[in-house]
Amino acid sequence: MTPAAPTAVPGAGGLPTGTGYAPCHHGEILQGVFLDDAGRRCAGLVTLPMAGPGSDAEFVRRPGTAPEVLTVVPAGRTKAARAAALAVTECARRAGQPPCGGELRLTGDIPVGLGMGSSTSDVIATVRAVADSYGLRLTPGTVARLAVRAELACDPLMLDGRPVLFAQREGRVLEVLGPALPPLVVVGCALGGGAPVDTLSLPVHEPGDSDVRACERLRTRLRRAIATGDVRLLGQVATASARRGQRALGHPEFDALTLIARRVGAAGVQIAHSGAVAGVLFDPAAPGLRHRVRSCLRALDAHGIPATRTFTTFTTTKGILHGPAHRGVDRPTGPDTPRRPARLPAL
């Protein structure tokens, strides 16, 4: 952690105030059980980044109040409340001050329960806002550690957008898979009518050696897909991972989704491991992209699968769907990548 110059600005009543932001994601490209550098099994995942929706947090610190006097607006964001308390303890210690209470306000437009990392986004935005109120900037590793303590598992939304295999229950990177994903066009949709998935009620599958070997093979193929920019191979990995996830999720539309992807010449599909959001993956350099995407949207509608948003991982959707794709100007998703504002429609 490198302390920044104090950036907290006075809020209402002259109280120190900090702000924070965190993005969301669009579910997973790969999820399973993998081996770390010590040969130990770890649950891990690779998320599909998506710019646009996110969580904003504002934290007003109230020095002199008891640290347990924390209010959260809107009420009911219990994970964010835990994150605020943990972050206050951490930041107060680093700043050499006694911990205190405060007020946390959260705003955002991430659909809840679809597996897009809404709770992790709230938690990370909260931690960043608390740190900002102390004039501190915490490292991604520290943010990840606090996020895991707040919600038991977290997504890698505190990182810089590079594709990583992330141990979500431990808050650590198992492998940086490359500098950026190959460029993708994603036709987003929601399975199960967009109903939230109760992950606690899902059947528990105890992974065996064959599961680990299968996941490690997919990890190797994904690493190669990223290194070579092979969208088709990445799509195959994502589809295989999604298919394995159906043992627990059992989405009735899965077969229809994969059939649609094949018929429209998509690279594959990806599905959130803890929700209903899914995506049909296209190579933006493939011929007839606009026709493929439109055919995909028509087919989804015909099968009663609501489409949500068509987006890319590297530039504006408009530039790809209404003009030729230029690989020479591809840019990986990152906090400074310009985007056309867009929102997921209500489901």
pLDDT of residue 238: 98
**Domain positions in the chain:** 9-174, 180-329
| Domain 9-174 in CATH 3.40.50.11600 | no
273-320 per-position pLDDT tens digit? 888 899 999 999 999 999 999 999 999 999 999 999 999 997 534 444
pLDDT of residue 202: 64
**Mean confidence (pLDDT) of the chain:** 87
How many CB atoms are closer than 10 A to CB 78?
A: 12
| CA dihedral for 220, 226, 232, 236, sign (positive or negative) | positive
pLDDT of residue 347: 30
pLDDT of residue 199: 62
HSE (side-chain half, CA atoms, 13 Å) at 210: 2
Q: How confident is the model at residue 332 (pLDDT cuts 50, 70, 90)?
A: very low
What does the alpha-carbon distance between residue 178 and residue 83 come to, in Å, rounded to a whole number? 30
232-266 per-position pLDDT tens digit? 999 999 999 999 998 878 889 999 999 999 999 99
Q: How confident is the model at residue 337 (pLDDT cuts 50, 70, 90)?
A: very low
1.10.10.60, 3.40.630.20, 3.30.230.10, 3.30.70.890: CATH of 180-329: 3.30.70.890
CA 300 to each of CA 158, 172, 190, 292, 335: distance values in angstroms, whole numbers, following the listed order:
33, 37, 10, 12, 31
Give the whole-number percent of the chain exceeding pLDDT 90. 75
Q: How many helices (H) and strands (E) does the chain have?
A: 8, 11
